[in-house]
Chains A and B, each alone.
Chain A
């Protein structure tokens, strides 16, 4: 009996040990994700958090400098540990690499089959930083499976967009240039001074809190519009269509032209008086409320264009201005500006689990969660397994997920992936359906969107979509996507950049609201101040820096031509 008891106890001991080993494998792992892209700071909650938890038993703690402030970067970097997974702007990534904050992932990355589908691009990034073949530190974000010169989208990032019903109501005038656009806007403003509820509406509503962003000096509302004339701001310089640089304050260049345009618009009473006082959130609310009559970001139509409005013809759509040439970036084959990396303090089992998670993050399953949504909520499958849109308003109305899909809780929008950055692009082809991941590429979606308004637009402009129109008329300038390592600012250059940007932004706002006859005098005053702060040195630095990128773009374009 005693022997049996001893045996039993021994068995129990062995059993309990094996259970505790299994539990160790299953232990919850909380990953700190330092994330330049996130607009949410804290633990990932809701359905996406549950998806990750049930697959990897991982919880995501998101550290968002956009929310918590840039000091988070400075203190964490000074501390020597940014996070377990690091998503950083490319120039800062290089700094962190030099400072030893990034882990060498050469040993594990080649085993990640989903990520290595983008081997060319990943090689290009790492070798561009001076590493030998097979040495990996960073993974580009949002890479496409197309090519550096392809343009897959049927609408480009920025172009003038008007509400089709309003444009039609004023007689669909042909617009020769910016003055023509202003005349049209004046007609629209005259006929539609308010929205349906009687709130004042204006063609242009401007906001000041994006100024100097995205490595471009100047106010965001002018900076973005410069692409309408085939020009693109690179730091403190303007890149012209012929691949030469010109100073941002050159009176022959587009920044001046567009600042003039906004000034004239204000003279004509077409600019919302709250412009310059309000922030982006206020403008965003106005867009959703129908108080803004001109849009220029392709994605901002999302605040207004619902299926109903597409059906009844009150949605925003591209309307060409004859003298414009539209600059846009081709598919982000080599990725966008941010890079995924692993923190240098990560070791052992945690490292394995992070790499497994990242590989899944680039897999078709994760891409579907990211770009297509949840089956049964945002889409259903037809007989061939292709996706059909379902519950369009899931994101907008934050629909409760558990009413449509079992096993997940919370609102759809609340539980959306807060990392807000992904490895594979939304336009990549989903091997499960043969179509792009994003809804706009699904055949079922396209069929649904062939509305009378779209048909009218097609008949009027003799084109299938806006990109098609631009291509047919030779007014599209798609810049090839390249992967080059740009130099980071030294402290001296950085200081000039701060001062020059401040002067440019302050003066541009004053220029928009000044009397027309004061415009040039104010402009000259601004140029004098910018030069005083050392603009010429900054310009020389940026030209030299971005010339490498231009050379790579020219090479990429000519490689395709051959």
Chain B
């Protein structure tokens, strides 16, 4: 009888999580059915049938033509470079949050935080139009420089491929830093007040408190965020690069997601190949996640999945 009641309870509890399982199944697992296109010679409007099955042909296409392989290597290089820069500077929002927290004038602090968080809610298209109006050939910067007589002809910022990885990182940071700092601000609020008071009583300076208390306390948060970012290493988003790309910088700006989009959307002929590439991307992402999790276990003694 008791076993039955426990069983009943487990059924009930299963029902409670059922909606979430359904959501995950519909939105995360069902789309995997689309992978089928990578194994077919699919071209709309023709449906996929047994006859269109081509096996691993599209995966072979990636490596069979040296120029295409080189092209994909270039895309990967861009992806790794851009994600690498973001990763290398991932401490930036943390430091920003720490310094923000140190501002004692409350209205000013709120002002800075609002101003830096706001860009997160601006779409990339608008960010691009801001960039265009500032740095275009007839943009504000060029106009000012020309009026001051510093340059004769406008500087083609938008058409330049110089330092494009870095400038893209700057735009990304301008848009995201404030938002990313929120997590750290929350972590800082969670620091035990007694610890801080004890430090102050012992005569610790502001910098010392930051160095010996604040940073060690929010470091776990930092690590979790870095790990999550690592799993997303290959998907650094396409909107930003999509709006900023032009014939002059696309060589350096085309990341994997954008490449898949450009291939799939420019012609129906590239549909299966772009699906194949995105499958490979998923596989690599899983590998990266497992690797970083294992590394975390080895270094910190605990994983995050």
A and B, one complex?
yes
Indicate which residue in A82, A277, A499 contacts B158 across the interface (CB closer than 8 Å).
Answer: A277
- Docked CA distance A489–B43 (Å): 10
Given contacts A95-B46, A277-B158, A532-B67, contact A498 B248 (CB under 8 A): no
B153–A273 contact, CB under 8 A?
A: yes
Q: When the two chains form their complex, are residues A499 and B71 in contact, meaning their CB atoms are under 8 A apart?
A: yes
Smallest Cβ distance from A311 to chain B, in angstroms? 32
Interface residue? A551 (CB, 8 A)? no
Interface pair B247/A77, CB less than 8 Å apart: no
Contacting pair B269 A277 (CB below 8 A): no
Which residues from B are CB-within-8-Å of A78? 44-45, 47
A237 in the interface (beta carbon within 8 A):
no
Comparing B131-139, B180-188, B191-199, B212-220, the segment that makes contact with chain A is: B131-139
A79 to chain B, nearest CB (A): 9
Question: What does DSSP make chain A's interface, helix, strand, loop or mixed?
Answer: helix
Given the complex of chains A and B, what is the CA–CA distance between A200 and B138 in angstroms?
Answer: 9
| Contact code string B58-79 (vs A, CB < 8 Å = 1, else 0) | 0001000111101100000000
Assess whether B209 is interfacial by the CB under 8 Å rule. Answer: no
Q: Mark A128-151, 1 if CB is under 8 A from B, else 0.
A: 000000000000000000000000
Contacts of B44 in A (CB 8 A): 73-74, 77-78, 95
CA–CA, A505 to B273, complex, Å? Answer: 21
Query: How far is it, in angstroms, between the C-alpha of A489 and the C-alpha of B41 when the chains are bound?
Result: 12
Q: Quick check: which of A1-9, A161-169, A320-328, A506-514 contacts chain B, the rest being far away?
A: A506-514
* CA A274 to CA B132, docked complex, whole Å: 10
How many residues of B sit at the interface, in one of the four size bands? 35 or more
A533 and B43 contact, Cβ closer than 8 Å, known pairs A276-B246, A498-B263? no
Q: Is B137 in contact with A533, judged by CB distance below 8 angstroms?
A: no
Contact of B159 among A101, A277, A505, A508 (CB under 8 A): A277
Instruction: State in angstroms the CA–CA spacing of A493 and B132 once bound together.
Output: 36
Which residues of B (108-151) have their CB < 8 Å from a CB of A? Answer: 132, 136-138
Known: A73-B44, A200-B138, A273-B153. A498 touches B246 (CB 8 A): no
B273 x A495 contact (CB < 8 A): yes
The answer to whether A489 touches B138 (Cβ under 8 A) is no
In the complex, number of A-B residue pairs with CB atoms less than 8 Å apart: 106
B residues less than 8 Å from A534 (CB atoms) = 65
With A74-B268, A273-B153 already in contact, the answer to whether A510 and B247 are too (CB < 8 A) is: yes
> Which A443-502 residues have a C-beta within 8 angstroms of B?
489-495, 497-499, 501-502
In the complex, B250 has a CB within 8 A of chain A: yes
Q: Which of B42, B247, B262 lies in contact with A208, CB distance below 8 A? A: B247
A489 to B267, CA, bound (A): 10
- Do A99 and B46 form a contact, CB below 8 Å, given A276-B248, A277-B132, A277-B158? yes
B266 x A212 contact (CB < 8 A): yes
A499 to B262, CA, bound (A): 10
CB distance from B140 to the nearest CB of A (A): 14
Beta-carbon contact of A506 and B43 below 8 Å: no
Q: Check B43–A494 contact: CB distance below 8 A.
A: yes
Cβ contacts under 8 Å, A70 to chain B: 265
Measured in the bound complex, the distance between the Cα atoms of B159 and A73 in whole Å is 33
Contacts A78-B44, A276-B247, A509-B247 given; indicate if A490 touches B269 (C-beta within 8 A). yes
Could you list 17 A-B pairs, sorted by A, with CB under 8 Å? A69-B265, A70-B265, A73-B45, A78-B45, A99-B46, A101-B45, A276-B247, A277-B136, A489-B269, A490-B43, A491-B43, A491-B270, A494-B269, A497-B267, A501-B266, A502-B262, A508-B247
Given A77-B45, A273-B137, 19 more A-B residue pairs with CB atoms under 8 Å apart are A74-B45, A78-B45, A96-B45, A99-B46, A208-B247, A274-B137, A274-B138, A277-B246, A492-B269, A494-B270, A495-B273, A498-B267, A501-B266, A502-B262, A509-B247, A509-B248, A510-B248, A532-B66, A533-B68
